[in-house]
Copies of this chain bind each other. A is one copy, B any other.
Amino acid sequence: MSNPEQTGRRGGRAARTAIRQAPIPEDKRVIRPGMEGGRFKALTDAEVERIHRAALDVLENIGLADAIPSCIDLVVNAGGTLTDEGRLLFPRALIEDTVANAARNFPLYAQDPKYDLEPWGQKVHFGTAGAAVHIYEPDTNEYRESTLEDLYNIGRIVQEMDNIHFFQRSVVPRDIPDPADMDLNTCYAAVKSTTKHVGTSMVHPDHVTEALEMLHVIAGGEDKWRARPFVSQSNCFVVPPMKFAEDASAALEVAVRGGMPVLLLAAGQAGATSPAALAGAVMQEVAEVLAGLVYVNLLVPGHPAIFGTWPFVSDLRTGAMSGGSGEQALLSAACAQMANFYDLCGGIPAGMTDAKTPDAQHGYEKGYTETLLAHSGANLIYESAGMQGSLLGFSMEALVIDNDMIGGILRTVRGIEVTEDSLSIETLRDVCTNGPGHYLGHEQTLERMESEYVYPVIGDRKSPKEWVEAGSEHIMDAAKRRVREIIDGKHPSHITPEIDAKIRANHNILMDENIFVAVA
């Protein structure tokens, strides 16, 4: 099978370099969005089932407080009960029917269809998220308030990152005091910054209405928007433990009726707003999101809703949030299993390091939380890149560093192919009995070089000696260069000047038009 005359051996480094220079077709890439996770199980099947039953029990017997009248009407008409204490109870059958009939296998669209996502089964995608109020400035080692321009630039960086598959807004524009202006401009800047799927938050129903008007213009009409809604709403409909949020509920209703996919986000913090016992924290997350799912499906049956169990952790010594612990990794991973159990689109956070700079702690906390969540088969991994300081800060340099990390993690999600060819018995025989005693120049090695191996963009693989000779550069320096390159580079042009003018005529856009002028 492997005869040296037939296979030939092309010389080492020159041949390898030649191969590296050829561009890799998209379908031949080693890693892609939507590879299948599911090889890690934090919970046994019996434990998943038990958490599910406990959540049903809690919804049926304890329920949620503070539902708005329209929500109460919907749920009571569907068989629910409002207790004398004002808690809305959800009967088991209503939950089960909702899970059975809820939307599953729905795409998340992008302005550019090549970035459409298929977040179902155990397909894994990585993206940003967050509501950080600070940006880390590497040159001064300080945090400053984040701005609308930062948000726009972050989206532009996301656009260039192969392993960041969607852009949920990461920072709050602290230069816009008015909440309505803030929500609208956040949506505007995000959608202008990238052609990948955008997620954003709108804290009041009127803000959703206005955003939808703008999005119809960008899409070229409401029908086109409804056919391919490319923005999802991150909606904190619940105030854990087990209370509905009034404005968010009303905003949810507008989004759902307006055809906007919603991320049903329950963010209990274990030990503070959800049980300190991890199983209980997962259970409460599941109960809350199931309540939201009922609400959405009573509003518009089959509306696309992301199962947004976002379990957070308290450092119980202080009560403050801690995003990078082993407990966090377990909570997120277990929530992914719960979403898989329901066969619903699971959108779950990981990568919320407590570190304040892209240091070793940053890396390992993101590394273990994101790895376990990806291998649990989470469909959408939020907060995965750029976040710092337990979600309070954002670093653009971290975003490009984290992109490499996610590349490595995605490589592990792809797994090991075991075939007659990959087992390499004949290659081994060839090398050991006919060959030079090593695999470096072997045909198989050259073939596998681009089909089996991922290479980092920023990550440094120099030896210590080469590294010292090259100036002992810190990874931050490489990251800063890459960030600068993107920010100083070409601006996206998918929204035409005509559409932009139309938006600006009808909405209070606070971002300078000139910032969008392409320099390249």
With A363-B364, A368-B408, A408-B364 as contacts: A276 and B444 at CB distance below 8 Å:
yes
Is residue A271 within 8 Å, beta carbon to beta carbon, of the partner chain?
yes
Q: Is A417 an interface residue (CB 8 A)?
A: yes
Chain A, range 400-421, C-beta contacts under 8 Å to B: 401-402, 404-405, 407-412, 414-419, 421
Measured CB to CB, the closest approach of chain B to A206, in angstroms, equals 28
Q: Which of B279, B452, B464 contacts A134 (CB 8 A)?
A: B464
Indicate whether A367 sits within 8 Å of B359 (C-beta atoms), given known contacts A142-B468, A416-B330, A459-B354. no
State how many copies of this chain the complex holds. 2
Contacts of A449 in B (CB 8 A): 271, 276, 316-317
Interface members, chain A 421-454 (any B CB < 8 Å) = 421-425, 427-429, 431-433, 437-440, 442, 444-445, 447-449, 452-454
Counting CB contacts under 8 A, is A275 at the interface?
A: yes
Q: A280 with B326: in contact, given A241-B432, A432-B65, A460-B361 (CB under 8 Å)?
A: no
Query: Would you call A76 an interface residue if the criterion is a C-beta within 8 Å of the partner chain's C-beta atoms?
Result: no
Chain B residues with Cβ below 8 Å from A358 are 359-360
B316, B361, B444, B456: the one contacting A16 at CB < 8 Å is B316
Of A49-57, A118-126, A220-228, A500-508, the stretch lying at the interface with chain B is: A49-57
Shortest distance between the CB of A162 and any CB in chain B (Å): 14
* Residues of the B chain whose Cβ atoms lie less than 8 Å from the Cβ of A367: 363-368, 371
Complex Cα distance A469/B318, Å? 17
Knowing A17-B317, A325-B453, the reply to whether A419 touches B361 (Cβ < 8 A) is no
Is the C-beta of A467 less than 8 angstroms from some C-beta in chain B? yes
A326-B411, A427-B280 given; A62·B241 CB < 8 A = no
Q: Is the CB of A405 within 8 A of B272?
A: no
Q: Is A455 an interface residue (CB 8 A)?
A: yes
Would you call A513 an interface residue if the criterion is a C-beta within 8 Å of the partner chain's C-beta atoms? no
* Contact across chains for B432 and A329 when beta carbons are under 8 A apart: no
Other than the known A359-B363, A360-B401, A368-B409, what 19 A-B pairs have Cβ atoms closer than 8 Å?
A51-B418, A54-B425, A142-B472, A241-B439, A242-B432, A271-B448, A278-B452, A280-B424, A280-B427, A283-B423, A315-B453, A320-B463, A330-B411, A330-B415, A354-B460, A360-B475, A362-B363, A367-B367, A368-B370
Q: What are 21 contact pairs spanning A and B, CB under 8 A? A: A13-B318, A58-B429, A61-B429, A62-B425, A62-B428, A241-B428, A241-B438, A271-B439, A276-B449, A278-B452, A315-B455, A324-B408, A354-B460, A360-B475, A361-B456, A361-B475, A364-B366, A364-B405, A368-B409, A371-B372, A389-B467
